[in-house]
Amino acid sequence: MRHAWLVARKDLYLEFRSRTAITSALVFTALVLVVFEYGRDPTAVPTIALAPSILWVTFSFAGMLTLNRAFNAELENQALEGLLLAPISRTSLFWGKLVANLAFVAVVQVTGLLLFILFFDVPVWRVWAPLLTVMILATVGFIAVGTLFSAMVVRTRFAELMLPVLLLPFLLPPLIAAAEVTTMLLGGRPLSEVSGWLRLLAAYDVAFVTLATLLFPATVTE
Amino acid sequence: MTPDQMPQTGGYMAAAYIAAAVLLVAYTIILWRRGAAKAKR
Amino acid sequence: MTLVQRGRWVTVVSLLLLGGIYVRALVYTPTEIHQGLAQKIYYVHVPSAWSAMLAMGLMGVASILFLFLKDPRYDRFAAASAEVGTAFSLVMLTTGPLWAKPIWGTWWTWDARLTLTLMMFFMFVGYLVLRGAVSEPGLRARYSAVLGICGLVLLPFIHLSVYLFRTLHPAPIVLKPSAPSAPPAMVITLLSSFAVFTLLYIGFVMQRYAIGERSDDA
């Protein structure tokens, strides 16, 4: 596990050095929020009706940008080849990448959420804990699958196009659940109604993090 | 509901049946030709 | 007889039987009164969905077997099943909206079954695209197997999430297309159609597998 942490730190360190990816991600997030704000008729549609969609479009873009960034870094530096030569297990390698991706997307998502609260007058504070929970649960699921697929598409033709194409069906359950839970939370629904969805998300995460961990070695075996 | 009140949806049925047949026969032909092409080598 | 030839025989026989199903469905099966003739699309749409799901399930199983046993024949079978599944998915996605429009008034709706079928189609396409993008056979086989297994595990989650969504937001559908209390004639037509579509799946896969074998370009 220590190896995983080292891999993660390496990725994140590289990221902070260049800061390009995180800057573009944050700018993009802000843009999405601005477009949604000005694209709606305030008299016709209350923000709270749009809020879940706005939030989750923003968060999914954050996720896709993260995966893209990680994958571009691989391409440029051929870092993967180097890492495979190092005496660390494939599992540690995967977990290192996963943790780095999650850290990155967390920063972008939290910033996005704060910007959202700033721009839109939606009472998020009352439900911050379940909201944070659903953000984590939904994101972990699809970042796990995305990290696995990134490792595969790096060595294919049209790699940048492939990742979203392959990932699309896998985004569906987390996003449906997340959007639904967010709607319920902002609408003041009792937590008991939300629990079914959270369990689905948790099951999804367990299934796919496990699967991705088990399958990752198959994608990098020589 | 009586038979004369039944909705007239025959057009959709025809379209669907034809589309399905066309797709399946087309795929059959595609596979057939690919099978033949391989055999010639 | 070679595998290709046997596959062709099976396919041709199945297509002839399909013609028989068509006749039976159109002429000898009573018409459902609330939906009119469009209801008969059911006899083609549902079995094609079944074949697509069969294709996906077997593709997933073959992928698992390939990763464990490393036998390229499983990979070849998975590739064959994926392509055949795509064909059946297309039939399903064409006949589905043609049925939905007269019955539900809309070509498409994001209910559990339709969303699942669309995602299955995307998965098949993704699988084939992935195979097309990797030239080295060993790598291609491994990558495909990974995708195939992930896809298989995903299906129940998609179904559950959309189903859960829909039970909270019931779509304004008055008619249930899968009429529960169907007269025996309809049931027999449907079941026969299932059998024919399964046979057609087998015929297609035999041919496609044989093609993959010869070129090893699966």
C214 confidence band (pLDDT: 50, 70, 90): confident
**Angle, vertex CA C193, rays to CA C188 and CA C197, nearest 5:** 155
pLDDT in tens, C74-113: 999 999 999 999 999 999 999 988 988 888 888 888 877 7
- With contact defined as 3+ CB pairs under 8 Å, the chains touching C are A, B
Would you call C142 and A177 a contact, using CB atoms and an 8 Å cutoff? no
Q: What ipTM was assigned to the predicted interfaces of this complex?
A: 0.85
Would you call A211 and C134 a contact, using CB atoms and an 8 Å cutoff? no
Q: Is C176 a residue whose pLDDT tops 50?
A: no
**Which chain A residues contact residue C151 at CB under 8 A?**
169
Q: Which two tokens stand for residue C101?
A: 């429009």
Q: Is C173 a residue whose pLDDT tops 70?
A: no
Would you call C143 and A166 a contact, using CB atoms and an 8 Å cutoff? no
- Give the minimum alpha-carbon distance from C124 to chain A in angstroms, rounded to a whole number: 10
Chain B window 2-41: which residues touch C at a Cβ cutoff of 8 Å?
3, 6-10, 12-13, 15-17, 19-21, 23-25, 27-28, 31-32, 34-35, 38-39, 41
Q: Are A204 and A141 in contact (CB under 8 A)?
A: yes
State the count of interchain CB pairs (< 8 A) between B and C: 100
**Which chain C residues contact residue A153 at CB under 8 A?**
130, 133
Residue tagged 């036998």 (tokens): C71
Q: Which residues contact A45 (CB under 8 A, 6 or more apart)?
A: none
| Mean of the per-residue pLDDT values of chain C | 86
Q: Is the whole-model pTM more than 0.80? A: yes
Share of chain C above pLDDT 70, in %: 91
Quick one: average pLDDT of C163-184? Answer: 60
Contact between chain B and chain A (3 or more Cβ pairs less than 8 Å apart)? no
pLDDT at C67: 92
pLDDT at C65: 95
From residue B24, how far is each of A85, C81, C189, C212 by CA, in Å? 49, 15, 19, 20
**Angle, vertex CA C108, rays to CA C104 and CA C112, nearest 5:** 90
| A156, A169, A180: residue with CB nearest C123 | A169
pLDDT at C150: 94
Specify the amino acid at residue C11.
Answer: T
Quick one: average pLDDT of B15-38? Answer: 90
What does each of the 222 residues of chain A score in pLDDT, given as a tens digit? Answer: 677 777 777 777 666 656 776 777 778 778 888 888 788 777 777 777 788 888 898 888 888 888 887 777 776 666 666 666 667 777 888 888 899 889 888 888 888 888 888 877 777 888 888 899 999 999 999 899 999 998 888 777 777 788 888 999 999 889 988 998 998 888 888 888 888 899 999 999 999 999 999 999 888 775
pLDDT at C76: 94
